Structure 1
Amino acid sequence: MSEQRDMDDLKERVRVALNNDFLRNAVKFTTEKLRKGKQAATDELGNWEEWRERGKQIRLQTIAHLDYYLSLFVDNLRAAGGKVHFASTAEEAVQISLKIMKAKQAKSVVKSKSMVSEEVQINQALEEAGIEVVETDLGEYIIQLANETPSHIIIPAIHRNRNQVAELFSEVAGEKLPADTTVLAGFARSKLREKFLQADIGITGCNFAIAESGSMVLFSNEGNARMVSTLPKTQITMMGMERIIPSWEDLEVMATLLPRAATGQKLTVYMSAIHGPKRNDEVDGPEELHVIIIDNGRSHQLGDPDFQEVLHCIRCGACLNACPVYRHIGGHAYGWVYSGPIGAVLTPVLNPDKGEWREVANASSLCGACYEACPVKIPLHDMLVYIRRRNVEEKRTDVIEKLGMSAFGKIASNHKRFRLAVKAGQLGQKFIARKGKITAKVGPLKNWTTYRVAPTFAQRSFRESWRQLDQELKQEMSLPQNQEIRQRMQEIIAKRGEKSE
């Protein structure tokens, strides 16, 4: 496992990320490029806010009636020859997959990029069962060799440079490969082609499932999803239960929103529609198609006024690209397969029993950039506040935070105590402030000042400034000319009062 994933403490994961200069520069460069691409693509499209609102309404309608649309999808898929399985938990999804593979006596599996398969940790389970599993998306292939989780929803190896990739590929090749992107891509292509031809089973995710036809649609930029879904005789699709949309007409909206929000593309390079296993007159496609519809905590959000909208997510990664926190610490600091603002919400709500993951909600500035970037208007910044609120209500905050907030409450609730505290701060900062900044790495301050400067108390507080302004106004109004104006205004007000009566 990666170093980041082994560390249970959020602060330690963040510390590791902040001290990795390459990671921070790579993430900053790539997310900036993606954001600029998104801006250019949405400007060219025009009426982007109208498209966002349309996308939001589709997701609202779908999730509000998810039982109906899921039932319709399942009926249509079964009518087309597909086999449907329901998994309440990640463990059930894994067991269903293993049962299918055992029935097929499968020895090798190829996978296309799928976040939900990362979520249920299918790769680990297959390896333990003695089944070879190979990721065929280039980024996923890289992090599989590195034994890591994705660092970004759509660019999983964003944190790796070509020298590191060359080392990983050289181990597989059995020879030293140069750190040349053309050579490395060529090696991956030739290696993966062998795996495509040998695989007994292909595993895919599902970007969107069309309820009205029982079809599934995969978006990709490398074509590997099409190979995974056509060459092996058996295909397993792992699908989060919320991936439904009602109709092909709705897909037009999603196909417009997702690539522009994710990478700035007008359209994803490959869009594959799967409608059951292959027919007798078709030359490619799986002989058997199994779809595993996975809950794994999603149904708990249905009907929850705080978190139901998290199920609207279309996994574009735009919130990661916009988030100032993600751009500094990358994906592994979040501790699970989902990172950035969506990860900070999904991780704790899908894993309510793991209270330690709720602290990820604190890794946010609550600036709302994620909401502005989201193509379906998910209010992630509000949800992060809801998680923090529930942490407090369920007494999940640490002792230092409790003491700090308790002390602040007592000070802020009394103007005399507050004034004394401000005075104490103004005096105390003289020992640690230099040129209007606090850089001293002492006590609780060091968590802040290790990577940035802390602001100082103003020489004059707001209350002091207000008091002085009030005195100046009173003095000014006491002047003869102003007293006359004041008297005339009072007379006008009195006359208006008489008229109204």
Structure 2
Amino acid sequence: MSGHGNQAEMMQEEPIGSGLKRRTEEALNNPFLRKAVAFTTDKLRSGRLQAMEDFGSWEEWRERGRAIREHTIRHLDFYLNQFAENVVKAGGHVHFCREAGEAVNTFLDIAKRHNTKLVAKGKSMVSEEIHLNRHLNEEGIEAIETDLGEYILQLAKETPSHLIIPAIHKNKEQIADLFTEDSGEQMAPETSTLAAYARQKLRQYFLEAGIGLTGCNFGVAESGSITLVSNEGNGRMVSTIPKVHVVIMGMERLVPTFEDLEVVLNLLARSATGQKLTVYTSLLTGPRGAEDLDGPEELHVIVLDNGRSAQLGDPIFQEVLHCIRCAACLNVCPVYRHIGGHTYGSVYSGPIGAVLTPLLKQDMKEAGQLAYASSLCGACYEACPVKIPLHDMLVHLRYRKVRLKMTSLPERLAFRTFQTAFGNVKVYRMATKAAYYLQKPFGQNGMIRRGPGPLAGWTKSRFFPMKPRLSFRDRWQTLQNELKSSDRKKGQAAEQDQSHNGKGERGTY
């Protein structure tokens, strides 16, 4: 397993924005990837819809979830203090870290103090966010992913492609090849065989690891408890067998009370996989007590800011902190469903990633390009269990990028031309008439199949209808003229009939 701690850093080395087009083309030209992602997201989406129907009153629960998250984030300072105080009262330690580097150094200090050379990891997107595996590897500390999907990707030296199903783009044959290479023995592409190998392989790491590391789905402020949800047992093994348990959590991952926790857990499981509740829902409060049979001797909670606090008070983007990481927005997004998660080039993918990544990185030049990886259809908002208006945020991110003059010069000139044309009636009419003649070299049978310049990207996967000789306005005016002419003729005919009838009537007396 040596070297597995350095998990797919090549993707992070490439600039997010400038590499987006290349990664998109690679994904679109990978039929297996597109089929695998579409199949799984369809299954997850169907499960969510069925769970919503069975649950009933779904919109009321969504509104309750939204209200809980809004209240928590609005009073985040209070609940962070309450949470930290209760963690300490229960015997744990809390470390507030403003930046990724500070969080990494805090973890390294804990590992060095305990002379740890092996870390068993549960699923943690925040550890991916700060590239913890790479830093541990550089210090000679081996980090082993124990979530099955994450373990598969660690062997493949890839990053997660989905928030809850990290290996969504892998099939059994590919996994069997990875396990064959790792074990040195031929592995059959059967689920039971592959799961048995992973179980046997990982068990020794649970026993040997000096530190168990997990993320945190929700911290409960009133008790200082850590909530972990999973469909695998590794979370409980990682958090109870090693002598030291380290939790890394984003500062926004709190709920005030257990009553609030009930609401968000109901929303999370149903939105993520369609389950009523995940197989394992663990509540951990403090390290092992004198009367406890198992559990860690030490508990450390690293609370990470890393750009999150910059969104507090922002009337547009504060709501992004409401996210409960269910990935429902990924499963309905037409862009994600075609290109998968790796195309985004960041830890967080899909609609939530397109908004969250540039905000956390505070980088509109590169990461801000993700705001354009959306059709703005609003499906993400409809699926979000806490009603985050991601489509509106994507529009505002695009506006921010334009306002900072980070778009290309040709793009700015194109939109200035567009503004001029649509801001003046005469210019608009001239432009639309000229367009009919300018398009002729590129069209055939009413369609443009190979567009010039920027249109080439559009016509690469679809046809662009040619502009007709007469615009809608021209046709409308013609129709109005025809109707007026018809009305005049009818009026004249009516007058003639009336005159004729009048003469006939006078002739009878």
Same fold judged by TM-score > 0.5? yes
2:187 maps to 1:177 = yes
Matches within 5 A, 1:67-86: 67-86=77-96
Paired residues, what number? 485
* CA 1:47–1:329: 2 relative to 1, 3 Å: same
Cα distance, 1:443 vs structure 2 = 2.8
Q: Which residue of 1 aligns with 2:26?
A: 16
* Corresponding residue to 1:189 among 195, 199, 213: 199
- 1 CA distance for matches of 2:243 and 2:414? 61
2:260 maps to 1:259 = no
Unmatched 5+ stretches in structure 1: 485-501
* Corresponding residue to 2:127 among 117, 120, 125: 117
* CA 1:147–1:439: 2 relative to 1, 3 Å: same
* CA 1:483–1:78: 2 relative to 1, 3 Å: farther
Q: Which residue of 1 aligns with 2:63?
A: 53
The one-letter amino acid paired with 1:321 is N
Cα distance, 1:421 vs structure 2 = 2.1
Q: Which residue of 2 aligns with 1:487?
A: none
- 2 CA distance for matches of 1:309 and 1:282? 40
8 Å CA contact retained: 1:84, 1:292 = yes
Cα distance, 1:182 vs structure 2 = 2.0
8 Å CA contact retained: 1:259, 1:316 = yes
Q: Which residue of 2 aligns with 1:104?
A: 114
Q: Which residue of 2 aligns with 1:465?
A: 475
The one-letter amino acid paired with 2:240 is T
8 Å CA contact retained: 1:24, 1:328 = yes
- SS of the equivalent of 1:337 reads coil
- SS of the equivalent of 2:303 reads strand
8 Å CA contact retained: 2:442, 2:451 = no
Q: Which residue of 2 aligns with 1:289?
A: 299
Q: Which residue of 2 aligns with 1:357?
A: 367
Range with bigger deviation, 448-457 or 250-259: 448-457
* Corresponding residue to 2:246 among 211, 236, 248: 236
- 1 CA distance for matches of 2:205 and 2:103? 24
Q: Which residue of 2 aligns with 1:271?
A: 281
- SS of the equivalent of 1:278 reads coil
Cα distance, 1:430 vs structure 2 = 3.2
| Residues 127-163 of structure 1 deviation map (CA, whole Å, 9 limit, x = unaligned) | 1111111011111111111222111101111112222
2:310 maps to 1:300 = yes
* Corresponding residue to 1:387 among 387, 394, 397: 397
Q: Which residue of 2 aligns with 1:211?
A: 221
- 1 CA distance for matches of 2:52 and 2:370? 31
| Residues 290-341 of structure 1 deviation map (CA, whole Å, 9 limit, x = unaligned) | 0000000000000011100000000000000010000111111111100000
The one-letter amino acid paired with 1:315 is R
Cα distance, 1:459 vs structure 2 = 4.4
| Residues 227-278 of structure 1 deviation map (CA, whole Å, 9 limit, x = unaligned) | 1101101000001000010100011111110011011111111000000001
Cα distance, 1:460 vs structure 2 = 3.0
- 2 CA distance for matches of 1:207 and 1:184? 28
The one-letter amino acid paired with 1:125 is H
Q: Normalised by the size of structure 1, how large is the TM-score?
A: 0.94
- SS of the equivalent of 2:83 reads helix
Range with bigger deviation, 400-409 or 360-369: 400-409
- SS of the equivalent of 1:84 reads strand
Q: Which residue of 2 aligns with 1:312?
A: 322
- 2 CA distance for matches of 1:143 and 1:454? 40
Identity %: 57
2:378 maps to 1:368 = yes
- SS of the equivalent of 1:15 reads helix
- 2 CA distance for matches of 1:431 and 1:445? 14
* Corresponding residue to 1:325 among 330, 335, 348: 335
Q: Which residue of 2 aligns with 1:198?
A: 208
2:104 maps to 1:94 = yes
- SS of the equivalent of 2:366 reads helix
2:74 maps to 1:64 = yes
The one-letter amino acid paired with 1:36 is S
Matches within 5 A, 1:329-478: 329-353=339-363, 355-440=365-450, 442-478=452-488
* Corresponding residue to 2:49 among 35, 39, 49: 39
| Residues 90-132 of structure 1 deviation map (CA, whole Å, 9 limit, x = unaligned) | 1000000000000000011111111111101111111111111
- SS of the equivalent of 1:235 reads strand
The one-letter amino acid paired with 1:140 is E
The one-letter amino acid paired with 1:260 is R
Cα distance, 1:426 vs structure 2 = 2.2
Q: Which has the higher Rg, Structure 1 or Structure 2?
A: 2
- SS of the equivalent of 1:228 reads helix
8 Å CA contact retained: 2:364, 2:401 = no
- SS of the equivalent of 2:484 reads helix
Q: Which residue of 1 aligns with 2:147?
A: 137
Range with bigger deviation, 167-176 or 396-405: 167-176
Over the aligned positions, Cα root-mean-square deviation in angstroms equals 1.8
Cα distance, 1:366 vs structure 2 = 0.5
- 2 CA distance for matches of 1:323 and 1:483? 60
| Residues 349-395 of structure 1 deviation map (CA, whole Å, 9 limit, x = unaligned) | 00114621101100111110000000000000000011001111111
* CA 1:327–1:104: 2 relative to 1, 3 Å: same
Q: Which residue of 1 aligns with 2:504?
A: none
The one-letter amino acid paired with 2:388 is I
Cα distance, 1:464 vs structure 2 = 1.0
8 Å CA contact retained: 2:93, 2:300 = yes
Matches within 5 A, 1:143-162: 143-162=153-172
- 1 CA distance for matches of 2:21 and 2:247? 36
Cα distance, 1:171 vs structure 2 = 2.0
- SS of the equivalent of 1:239 reads strand
* CA 1:325–1:109: 2 relative to 1, 3 Å: same
- 2 CA distance for matches of 1:91 and 1:361? 26
8 Å CA contact retained: 2:123, 2:146 = yes
8 Å CA contact retained: 2:319, 2:388 = yes
8 Å CA contact retained: 2:120, 2:212 = yes
Cα distance, 1:439 vs structure 2 = 1.9
